[in-house]
Amino acid sequence: MKLLIDTNVILDMVFKRNQYDIAMELFRRVRKTRTSAYITASSVTDLFYIIHKETHDTVRTYNIMENIFDLVAVFSVTEKDIFDAFGQTWKDFEDCVQYMTGVNNRADYLITMNQKDYESTALPVLTPDAWLNLSARN
């Protein structure tokens, strides 16, 4: 099984925000079930920027990113992903690029804290909590 993890899930874990416990449980379950977890290449740059902006510490930012790479692999964002997203005309182009990257890489689920941001349903979009409940039944 392949999960595409949204940036907001990673940020909740890194900064111990509201959904920290659920994000941590998601990654514990991913490891336990040997599920493959991914983020997009564009999420890598977003994460680095946001983490550095919050920490003001380049060394710490690189260390945090190394820890993230221990949990996830990276899907490249291709020209096809960009043009497929562009053709969808979603309100949030960034979310659509991420979504199309997941579709084109045959992810099984996109995991996000903001389910409402995703307009299409070809790739199931779940909250971490919903995926945890689903994976517990399987």
Q: What is the pLDDT of residues 4-26, one digit of tens each?
A: 999 999 999 999 998 999 999 99
Give me the mean pLDDT over the 34-46 stretch: 97
Alpha carbon separation from 21 to 69, 83, 88 (Å, rounded): 19, 36, 34
Alpha carbon separation from 116 to 21, 44, 72, 74, 127 (Å, rounded): 21, 22, 24, 24, 10
Burial (CB count within 10 angstroms: exposed 0-12, middle 13-18, buried 19+), residue 79: exposed
Tell me what the pLDDT averaged over the chain comes to: 95
How confident is the model at residue 116, as a pLDDT?
Answer: 85
Residue 136 has pLDDT above 80, yes or no: yes
How confident is the model at residue 117, as a pLDDT?
Answer: 82
pLDDT in tens, 99-119: 999 999 999 999 999 888 887
